[in-house]
Amino acid sequence: MAKIIYVEHNGNSHTVNVENGLSVMEGAVQNNIPGIDGDCGGGMSCATCHVYVKEEWFNKLEKKLDGEEDMLDQAYEPKKNSRLSCQITVSEELDGLIVNMPEKQV
Amino acid sequence: MIKTDALIIGAGPTGLFTAHQLKIIGLDCEIVDNLDKAGGQCIELYPDKPIYDIPAIPECTGEELTKNLLDQLKPFNINFHLGERVDELKKNESNWEVKTNKGKTFLTPNVIIAGGVGSFEPRRFSPKECEQFEDKSIFYSIKNKKIFEGKTVSIFGGGDSALDWAVELSKNSKVNLIHRRDEFRGAPHTLNEIRKLEKEGKISIKTPCQLDSIEGEKDIKSISIKFDDGKIEKIKTDFVLSFFGLVMKLGPIAEWGLNMSKKTITVNSENFETNKKGIFAVGDICNYPGKLKLILSGFHEVALASVECFKRARPNEKYRFEFTTSSKTIQERLGKK
């Protein structure tokens, strides 16, 4: 279980406990957090669970798989610290992870 | 006006199998899809990804699944209306009248929405000023490449579409290829071609940067692109093309007065009818207690919805449940006897 902090583009922040093994996207969808859609269900096939992760956390995350960067090309306003939240698996080490959402997903 | 027993919205796996189920119980149907091909998410999002949970098919890709579903429809004559989006729905006595963006009208007692997560549309630029230039100086798809001859074209994107068009248009136009990162994703052959054309001065590559602003009144005069290091460069250009992939949007269906929850349509789990009689929702787009967004669930949903469609389309006939293994009538419909 890890505490994940989801910050909407307008600054609204939601803190939820997400079980280990779930993705950060699933944690958002299951807790009805606005701003993360996850349209394709976590298959790295859309870009609607796009988040920004600040540097201190970005470097602690598992590296991107092939294909995530390609998918991020199709996200709304991708930046250097963009990730697809379906590709971040929650574990104890991520306790306190902050993810910031883009202005919109599509 | 096209009269039919049922109109299917969406040609993804669920929509395709809906046609099958309607046809074997003796109903006509027509299919509309905004994409220019059948298959929906299977073909657009993951044509090469293997799927492992289609009953009796241990493993198949999205493309194979689509092909198999189309093969299964071969015995039937089904009209596909591809590249069209449904826009309007209105009641016409006991029927529904559905209009598409291409001006077609369908008259039918049954509308089956198998719309997945919505219709696919190109992802557009975010700066607001881009809207006014759309389809004049900014294009998200190319219908007539002749208009670019002898002009300067700035292409945004790093995937196959962007690369292929950069190669193609560089024959007769000055091309800028602009991408948010240094790596492009495309067939190795195309990447080599791009590098070659860059050396020859036919394509100018700008990375890593993104669109910052657009200048112009009626037509675009120039664009400003912002590099990762903050540097801004102004480029004279006549046209801007963008290939950022597709996004899924529910579109006009959301305005049809159907009960919705988040981005899905609420149905009953007996026949998958919505709050409006004769309008059904099946597959990923529907929700009911226990709903799973699996292709196999979509198949089950359409079988049940089809029975209700029969009752509405043939109010004076009695529906008879039959097996394909033993029913002569069904076998005739399948062209087997």
- Residue B262: pLDDT over 90: no
A105 is a domain residue: no
B294 close to A (CB below 8 A): no
Sheet of strand B209-216, all strands in order from the earlier edge strand to the far edge: B209-216, B220-227, B232-236
DSSP annotation of A23 reads B
CB contact at 8 A, B82 and B37: yes
Assigned domain for A106 exists: no
The CATH number covering residue A27 comes to 3.10.20.30
What pLDDT score was predicted for residue B126?
A: 82
A69 vs B: CB within 8 A:
yes
> Residue range B280-299: average pLDDT?
96
User: What percentage of chain B carries pLDDT values higher than 90?
Assistant: 86
pLDDT band at A106 (very low <50, low <70, confident <90, very high): confident
Mean pLDDT of B282-310: 97
The pTM for the full model equals 0.80
What is the helix, strand, coil percentage profile of chain B, to 5? 25, 30, 40
Q: What confidence tier does B191 reach under pLDDT thresholds 50, 70, 90?
A: very high
Q: If pLDDT is split at 50, 70 and 90, which confidence band does A6 have?
A: very high
Partners of B117 on chain A (C-beta within 8 Å) are: 39-40, 46
Name the β-bridge partners of B110: B6
Output the pLDDT for position B37. Answer: 94
**Would you say B17 and B302 are in contact if contact means Cβ atoms under 8 Å apart?**
yes
**B228 in reach of chain A (CB within 8 A):** yes
Please count the other Cβ atoms lying within 10 Å of the Cβ belonging to residue A64: 17
What are the structure tokens assigned to B86, written together? 């449904």
B207-249 pLDDT, tens digit per residue, is: 999 999 999 999 999 999 999 899 999 999 999 999 988 888 8
- Average of pLDDT values for B283-309? 97
Choose the closest CB to B46 out of A43, A70, A76: A43
Which domains are present in chain B? 2-121+247-333 (3.50.50.60), 124-244 (3.50.50.60)
State the pLDDT confidence band at B121, using cuts at 50, 70 and 90. confident
**Predicted confidence band of residue A3 (pLDDT cuts 50, 70, 90):** very high
Q: Is A82 on the interface with B (CB under 8 A)?
A: no
Percent of chain B with pLDDT over 70: 100
Total domains in chain A come to 1
Q: Is the pLDDT of residue B54 over 80?
A: yes
Which one-letter amino acid corresponds to residue B96?
W
Per-residue pLDDT at A103: 93
Q: Which of B3-17, B68-82, B242-256, B318-332 is least confident?
A: B242-256
Best residue in A26, A30, A32, A39 for a mutation probing chain B (most B CBs within 10 Å): A39
Q: Could you list the beta-strand ranges (E) of chain A.
A: 2-7, 13-18, 50-52, 82-84, 97-100
Q: Which chain A residue is nearest to residue B211, measuring alpha carbons?
A: A77
User: Does any CB of chain B come closer than 8 Å to the CB of residue A93?
Assistant: no
Residue ranges making up the domain that contains A89: 2-100
Q: Under 8 Å CB-to-CB from B71, ≥6 apart: which residues?
A: none
pLDDT in tens, B83-115: 999 999 999 999 999 999 999 999 999 999 999
Residue-level pLDDT at B249:
86
More confident residue, B185 or A83: A83
Partners of residue B293 in chain A, C-beta under 8 Å:
41
Question: Does the pLDDT value for residue A47 go beyond 80?
Answer: yes
Q: Are B265 and B285 in contact (CB under 8 A)?
A: yes
Q: Band of the pLDDT at B288, cuts 50, 70, 90?
A: very high
Q: What is the pLDDT of residue A36?
A: 95
What pLDDT was estimated at residue B284? 94
| B53 at A interface, C-beta within 8 A | no
Residues whose CB is less than 8 angstroms from the CB of residue B231 and which lie 6 or more positions away in sequence, other chains included: none
Write the residue in A40, A69, A74 that is nearest to B245 by C-beta. A74
Q: Which residues pair with B250 in a beta bridge?
A: none
In this predicted complex, what is the ipTM?
0.78
pLDDT for A28: 97
* Domain assignment of residue A60, yes or no: yes
Task: Evaluate if residue B13 carries a pLDDT over 90.
Answer: yes
Is A46 part of a structural domain of the chain?
A: yes
DSSP-assigned letter for residue B134: B
